[in-house]
Amino acid sequence: MTPLISRRSKALSGSAAVPGDKSMSHRALMIGAVAIGESRVRGLLESEDVLRTAAALTALGVSVTKGADGAWRVLGRGVGGLAEPATVLDLGNSGTGARLLMGLLASHPFTSQFTGDASLNSRPMGRVIKPLEQIGAVFNAREGGRLPLALTGTAEPVPITYELPVASAQVKSAILLAGLNTPGRTTVIEPKPTRDHTERMLRHFGAEVKITDLDQGARSIVLTGQPEITARPVTVPGDISSAAFPLVAALIVPGSDVTLTGIGVNPLRTGLLETLGEMGASLTVANRREEAGEEVADLHVQAGPLRGVTVPAVRAPAMIDEYPVLAVAAAYARGETRMEGLSELRVKESDRLRAIAAGLAAAGVGIEEGEDYLVVNGTGGPVAGGARIETGLDHRIAMAFLVLGMAAAAPIVIDDAAPIETSFPDFAGLMNGLGACIEEEKQP
């Protein structure tokens, strides 16, 4: 374990580029793996999660290498062309890698074994298993649909129309990736829009994807199966979920003025920016452009007072990974912030809703935790701090509470920083470069 301590910081200042978008990095590797030709991927997030996906694809017969120029090269095998692995596919802590790869392999006629670390092996996979079984895949999993599990793909996949019971980009993406090697049209109906990186990247590689808006905010996504997709260059923008941490830190540390460059601002990922705007944040989105079908921009943020707001449940899919650090912003805001529709947080790398609530309470912040909501009673100034936070092997909980400590009256200690490597390598180094004071806890 690697405990870190975060102390009250001086004003943060400067410009920084955060690591590449994790969601897009996984998808670029997987879709490139079933394209024809060599795809060059620049800006790939070289975190443990993404490197586990690269290793799994290598085991499936795909050449995935990093060139001297820093770009990654993926030599695809074509749709349906992956090979049976000789080893167990170990996805570490990556729920995204595991669920999306299950989708990709559901329509390949061989058996693969999946496992992960203690955190991943405790997470339920039933929401992905159910639709993939309808396509024809067979699963042999632990109780509750948990890893380790064996997946036998089908030689005769059946196109399905599947209505998601809960809005989930991972489940949607798993079905669409299974649909790549399935004849006919595979359709996913989502109750409200979720991040659409898979749809955008499939189109970028040449697949036919039709999106239709339905009643009451629902959407239909239709993929025409068995296309011949061809290699494409991909530039991965900075991950807005990673940018959220220095962004909120700059808002709560007095006197801060920070610019984050080249951040992905996909409209279905910007719920945090919308919410912080409602809270009164001094936040400017500038230099908008498009790369590989995705919107990219620079974010300029300055410290200033925040006010409590109500964050509606409908916004949750657009910011589901940002709630831990939003709760930190809410702790420093004036008044009550109520976040609704948070049930998805219960099945992330940890029970994030419980972890957020417990950590804030330990740091002296008034909270109310419900089954699917959280109320934070903001101080309007520095929180008490002085707490030791159990992160539960969750990288976002770890980073969120390190941010909390940057403006707290007393330091915050997190029990283990190691999981941060799954999404944000050298997080402490980047933050310290802006002026933060994060260091390893000295043992007595």
DSSP 174-221: HHHHHHHTSSSEEEEEESS----HHHHHHHHTT--EEEEE-GGG-EEE
CB 434 within 8 A of CB 14: yes
Residue keyed to tokens 């380790």 = 148
Tell me, what's the pLDDT at 347? 78
* Spatial contact of 201 and 28, defined as CB atoms under 8 Å apart: yes
What pTM, to 2 d.p., does this model score?
0.86
Give me the torsion for CA of 149, 155, 161, 164, rounded to 10°: 10
User: What was the pLDDT predicted at 444?
Assistant: 63
CA 100 to chain centre: 13
Residue 223: strand, helix, or coil? strand
With residues binned 3-state (H G I as helix, E B as strand, rest as coil), the percentages for the chain, rounded to 5, are 35, 30, 35
Q: By the 8 A CB rule, do 214 and 398 touch?
A: no
Q: What is the pLDDT of residues 361-396, one digit of tens each?
A: 999 999 999 999 999 999 999 999 999 999 998 999
Please give the pLDDT value at position 441: 87
Question: Considering the domain 22-235 in this protein, what is its CATH number?
Answer: 3.65.10.10
Give the Cα separation of 128 and 147 in Å (integer).
12
Q: Where in the chain is the domain with CATH 3.65.10.10?
A: 4-20+237-440, 22-235
Look up residue 147 and give its amino acid: L
Q: State the pLDDT at residue 348.
A: 77
Query: H-helix or E-strand containing 51?
Result: helix 48-59
Strand order in the sheet with 219-224: 161-163, 185-190, 219-224, 209-213
Per-residue confidence of the chain (444 residues) as pLDDT tens digits? 889 999 999 999 999 999 999 999 999 999 999 999 999 999 999 999 999 999 999 999 999 999 999 999 999 999 999 999 999 999 999 999 999 999 999 999 999 999 999 989 998 899 999 999 999 999 999 998 999 999 999 999 999 999 999 889 999 999 999 999 999 999 999 999 999 999 999 999 999 999 999 998 899 999 999 999 999 999 999 999 999 999 999 999 999 999 999 999 999 999 999 999 999 999 999 999 988 788 999 999 999 999 999 999 999 988 999 999 999 999 999 999 999 999 989 877 779 999 999 999 999 999 999 999 999 999 999 999 999 999 998 999 999 999 999 999 999 999 999 999 888 989 999 999 999 999 998 876
What are 40's strand-pairing partners? 73
* Assigned CATH class of 4-20+237-440: alpha beta
Residue 296, CB half-sphere, CA atoms under 13 Å: how many? 21
β-strands 111-115, 146-152 pairing? antiparallel
CA distances from 340 to 139, 159, 165, 275, 323 (A): 34, 35, 18, 13, 10
Helices (H) and strands (E) in the chain, counts: 13, 24
Residues identified as active-site:
321
pLDDT at 16: 97
Tokens matching residue 58:
């290598």
